[in-house]
Structure 1
């Protein structure tokens, strides 16, 4: 079924990109999100919340999860008002080893299967110089990485059966390094490495499941803005636009998204001009030793 929507999008198609904020008619992609069964993690706020609303407008069936039950309930109510065929929530803590499996089981029970698993949740981490907190780094890896691969493994049989898509929300900090975010950056590099390898394995097995890894720059979520306020003047981009680009990337089964578009060039030029890249990164922060 052809969908015809006009949206300001920025879509990576292989190594090609469309400039940000140009109106693009999405009429030549053979996909439909109406009735699609979707599980979105980290959906109580920020990009995850905006993805839930976009999926609702497309008429999808949605399960969302995060830690705060009261906020999840409000998001579900709005999803239903926006046109979601079904919307459910389950509160979960991804640092708890049993919760990732519990969430997938809940989604399979409520929706009868999965067409999209969208992994978006992250744990809080200080924006500061690393001071040797190994325990926090281990905890963050559990939330930002190990729970992702646990949920992916649990959902793969249903995704395989339904020719589904696995969408992984990552970061430019999974492609390049930066100060003040060593634990967070390590989790994103782990995500990119693992799901890049898994994509190869699924392709070699002729799997029906696509994997889309989404590389995001600075997005104007409340949590991100609170951390960088007064520290950097790097421009932040809208969470609602990032969310829509992620959804389209998954729906069109593209292997990668870079949003905003220039993050693609930052990712590739770090290997061409490493000294220049390091200089720019280190001088983009208002830091005095």
Structure 2
């Protein structure tokens, strides 16, 4: 292949990539939208609530801590939310996901975006063999997502709405010290990836977006990984805005930071070197 042809192919590849990844988000598309954000008392969920408020959405936020939710709601009102309310709930209780969804729809008069973001407490470290803990975490991080989606689908069908699933790079590839958490994220990818196919085949009005996040600099994440790895974290506020844009533009799958698309693309090319690099990026802390 001549140098000229190689440069032409490269130029086409760059142009296609730039076109596919261009920012087509229209802030006005979110103004007045009825949005339910789970896990919104802190971290990425809290930042999403603030972004939606600035964009003029009508918000319901949910998490376990009622006092913290009140503070977040107050801040959302100050930032310009057309409506900001909360429903406190513990997603480890099997009856709560459906209750939260139904109450939110009643309060908002419908629903346009269901943002599934909540997670249970997940200590970082070598797996200790506690299978019951894995079962509990699966209820919070996976089963409750399915419950809320199942309840929301008929409502979102009427509004041509969207389900946005906040997942993780750990739902695409494994690393040490996060076995229970990673298992829940792999489950999300399997279920909601299948749901995407089925909704499309039925001509549904509902879109499903799966967002794949790398390490984000939330306080809880930073506390967990301390001493285990020095992988670079990325800002929660930027991750939150990325999730909102991906859902509003009805992307099937999105990555933050963007280069993790390539991380996943090359994941299975050289598995021996991949695993060697991963293991060298982590350390078992000395007691």
Partner of 2:144: 147
Q: Tell me which of 190, 206, 209 is aligned to 1:209.
A: 206
Q: 1:116 to 1:131 in 2, by over 3 A?
A: same
Structure 1 spans left out of the alignment, 5+ residues: 1-12, 19-23
Shift of residue 172, structure 1, vs aligned partner: 0.2
Residues 225-267 of structure 1, C-alpha deviation per residue, up to 9 Å, x if partnerless? 0011122110000000000000000000011110001211111
Query: How big is the alpha-carbon RMSD for the aligned residues of Structure 1 and Structure 2?
Result: 1.7
Q: 1:128 to 1:135 in 2, by over 3 A?
A: same
Q: Tell me which of 56, 63, 67 is aligned to 1:59.
A: 56
Shift of residue 119, structure 1, vs aligned partner: 0.0
Q: Point out the structure with the larger strand share.
A: 1
Residue 37 (structure 1) aligned with residue 27 (structure 2): no
Shift of residue 270, structure 1, vs aligned partner: 1.5
Partner of 2:155: 158
CA distance in 1, matches of 2:73, 2:243: 20
Q: Point out the structure with the larger helix share.
A: 2
Residues 45-104 of structure 1, C-alpha deviation per residue, up to 9 Å, x if partnerless? 000000000000000000000000000000000000000000100110001011001100
Partner of 2:12: none
Residues 258-279 of structure 1, C-alpha deviation per residue, up to 9 Å, x if partnerless? 0001211111212111111111
Aligned residues: 270
Residue 68 (structure 1) aligned with residue 68 (structure 2): no
Structure 2 spans left out of the alignment, 5+ residues: 1-16
CA distance in 2, matches of 1:207, 1:272: 35
User: Structure 1 residue runs of 4+, over 2 Å off?
Assistant: 13-18, 286-289
Secondary structure of the residue aligned to 1:52 is helix
Structure with higher RCO (Cα < 8 A, 6+ apart): 1
Partner of 2:263: 266
CA distance in 2, matches of 1:70, 1:123: 18
Shift of residue 287, structure 1, vs aligned partner: 2.6
Cα pair 2:163 2:208 within 8 Å, conserved: yes
Q: 1:30 to 1:82 in 2, by over 3 A?
A: closer
TM-score, scaled relative to structure 2: 0.91
Residue 190 (structure 1) aligned with residue 187 (structure 2): yes
Q: 1:14 to 1:131 in 2, by over 3 A?
A: farther
Q: Tell me which of 75, 84, 87 is aligned to 1:87.
A: 84
CA distance in 2, matches of 1:16, 1:144: 31
Partner of 1:282: 279
Q: 1:70 to 1:177 in 2, by over 3 A?
A: same
Secondary structure of the residue aligned to 2:262 is helix
Q: Tell me which of 116, 121, 134 is aligned to 2:118.
A: 121
Q: Tell me which of 169, 174, 195 is aligned to 1:172.
A: 169
